[in-house]
Structure 1
Amino acid sequence: MAVHAHPDDESSKGAATAAYYTSLGDEVMVVSCTGGERGDILNEGMPQAALAMARRDLAGLRRREMAAAQSVLGIQHRWLGYVDSGMARDDGTFPPGSFASIPLEISAEPLVALVRSFKPHVMITYDENGGYPHPDHIRAHVVGVEAYRAAADPARYPDAGEPWQVSKLYYDRIFNPGRLNAVYDDLLETAPESPLVSRLRDMRGWMREPDVDITTRIPAGEFFEARDRALRSHASQVAPDSPFFFWPNDVQRRAWPTEDFQLIDSKVTTQMPETDLFAGIENAG
């Protein structure tokens, strides 16, 4: 189970991994905490009919886009049902009823219920900074960790179903400086005249996250094209030639053919580094 803030996050953060595991016959569920209602239209090059719908009913369009991405990846999908918070207002508050404004004990219960009904062995969410500091991403982290901890406790959320112990909790580490630098170095050697080289050079200037402990690298390179198709399904949010998202897949498979995660908590014994999110689970119990 992967917990995301908005529709499109599932396609930019771990989509190749989701496609990889569904190809193996594993069940994968993505949870979108909000509908992305307060997002901006980031692709003015959409067909006119879709652009008109985006301006009239962005929430409805984003549901259609999510359904298309779900079909590409072969995943299950659930809406947690909360409204996009947008960015904080000048006074630091959020619109009433939006995801970031709702008390944790209320907003976590639907996710606890999903965990107890779906019974995942693995949960993936964001780190404390939300991957990037959008309020809904930070809230998705808080709600995801709360659900991971609470789902196994029969004394908590007693109306949300029978308790279930998730075996492992991971943070998404897909966007990391090592990956960016590896792709940049490969392009610099093999295609130095590519306009993407200067774009990645600029990204290296601001993408200087502190080193993180990547514990788990999933060999998902075969599914980068599926990831890209899922991303392009979110046409209101992702331009089809966006240099932020779309790098040559042959270069990526040479330079960095994995999607990366950090194991935060485990109820089973596993050895590092991992190449499988389910490592140790098959031997548990």
Structure 2
Amino acid sequence: MPETPEQRLLLVHAHPDDETINQGATMARYVAEGRGVTLVTCTAGEMGEVLVPDLEHLAAHREDALGEHRRGELAEAMEVLGVTDHRFLGGFGAYRDSGMKWHEDGHAIPADEVHDNAFWHADLTEAADHLVRVVREVRPQVLVTYDQFGGYGHPDHIQAHRVAMYGMLLAGVSSYRLDLGEPWEITKAYWGAMSESRMRESLRAIRATGDTETFAGMDPDGDLPPFITPDDLITARVDGSSHVEQKMHALKQHRTQVEVDGPFFSGAESGHAFWAEESFRIVRGTPAPGPEGYETDLFAGL
């Protein structure tokens, strides 16, 4: 039986591909360093837009078979990153992707019609209890999820944030649902973040080439969308440069969701430059910053 790693990270994400876009390099780095990495994905992304013409028949409005396909994409991406412990909240199919639409202000909001089994409609305590079981089994010291707005307003991201934060709290309560396992208190928790200064630098490099399509509508000197985080709120910057190739290769496994010639892989600021460093905001625990004022390791101080 394999030995349990001394340090363990739990990530809670809404759909397959969210984990790789947001923390793929961090995940790969920690696996390589012998730390435990567990991923909980809350839905199978059934309502996602299919970007591969040959697979458009899988979409929700046609065969509605995208979830099973994305389950396979996630497994392939995790194999690339080396993550062997990845699960769906409550088991595969327990919660369905809620879908979304765009608000005129540029952020996501719930769709006009939401499936009865959508994650957005999930009972919070029931969903959190599924996570409590995982937390008490894995016993992670560190949790990573989204901020309260889910980055850009997607209802499933917001719900994943709620489930992660409530599940973390309940898991540590010594008198709560002992049938779900021995209580365990997570020491440090983080919300993923995208640095404002790095995004502005990237946009300037992109616009300098005459490219107006990549991150269309975003002005390097203007207002930025809500998924961009002011640098003074960021407490940790994890250097994943040694693993960014893995991250980008893992992202390519999410074939239905990511355009290979899109902004992740092409343009003046390609993935190999922009996507290597991953930023975080600490929301539980005591930060242990390094010389530059940021933590460089989510396990710092433990």
* TM-score normalised by the chain length of structure 1: 0.85
1:21 maps to which residue?
30
Q: What's the CA shift for 1:53?
A: 4.7
Gaps of at least 5 residues in structure 2 are 1-9, 101-109
Q: What's the CA shift for 1:233?
A: 0.7
Instruction: Tell whether the 8 Å contact from 2:245 to 2:272 is kept in structure 1 after alignment.
Output: no
Q: Percent identity?
A: 36
Q: 1:144 to 1:8 in 2, by over 3 A?
A: same
* 1:129-173 C-alpha deviation (Å, 9 max, x unpaired): 011111110000000001111111122232211111111000000
Q: 1:19 to 1:236 in 2, by over 3 A?
A: same
Do residues 126 (structure 1) and 146 (structure 2) align? yes
Secondary structure (helix, strand or coil) at the match of 1:226 reads helix
Rounded to whole Å, the distance in 2 between the matches of 1:261 and 1:276 is 10
1:31 maps to which residue?
40
Q: 1:201 to 1:86 in 2, by over 3 A?
A: closer
Q: 1:101 to 1:251 in 2, by over 3 A?
A: closer
Give aligned pairs, total.
Answer: 266
1:276 maps to which residue?
297
Q: What's the CA shift for 1:185?
A: 3.6
Secondary structure (helix, strand or coil) at the match of 1:202 reads coil
RMSD: 2.3
Rounded to whole Å, the distance in 1 between the matches of 2:243 and 2:67 is 28
Rounded to whole Å, the distance in 2 between the matches of 1:52 and 1:245 is 25
Alignment of 1:77-226 (within 5 A): 77-80=86-89, 81-87=94-100, 88-90=110-112, 94-173=114-193, 175-186=194-205, 192-193=208-209, 195=211, 199-200=214-215, 202-204=217-219, 207-209=224-226, 211=230, 213-226=233-246
Rounded to whole Å, the distance in 1 between the matches of 2:278 and 2:47 is 29
Q: What's the CA shift for 1:6?
A: 0.6
Q: 1:250 to 1:107 in 2, by over 3 A?
A: closer
Amino acid at match of 2:148: E
Secondary structure (helix, strand or coil) at the match of 2:114 reads coil
Q: 1:103 to 1:52 in 2, by over 3 A?
A: closer
Rounded to whole Å, the distance in 2 between the matches of 1:269 and 1:6 is 29
Q: 1:187 to 1:40 in 2, by over 3 A?
A: closer
Do residues 60 (structure 1) and 68 (structure 2) align? yes
Q: 1:159 to 1:250 in 2, by over 3 A?
A: closer
Q: What's the CA shift for 1:40?
A: 2.0
Secondary structure (helix, strand or coil) at the match of 1:59 reads helix
* TM-score normalised by the chain length of structure 2: 0.80
Q: Compare the two structures and name the one with the higher helix fraction.
A: 1
Q: What's the CA shift for 1:202?
A: 3.1
Secondary structure (helix, strand or coil) at the match of 2:288 reads coil
Rounded to whole Å, the distance in 1 between the matches of 2:20 and 2:157 is 15
Do residues 72 (structure 1) and 89 (structure 2) align? no
Q: What's the CA shift for 1:222?
A: 1.9
Instruction: Tell whether the 8 Å contact from 1:121 to 1:167 is kept in structure 2 after alignment.
Output: yes
Q: 1:52 to 1:148 in 2, by over 3 A?
A: same
Rounded to whole Å, the distance in 2 between the matches of 1:39 and 1:99 is 14
Rounded to whole Å, the distance in 2 between the matches of 1:241 and 1:108 is 38
Q: What's the CA shift for 1:214?
A: 0.5
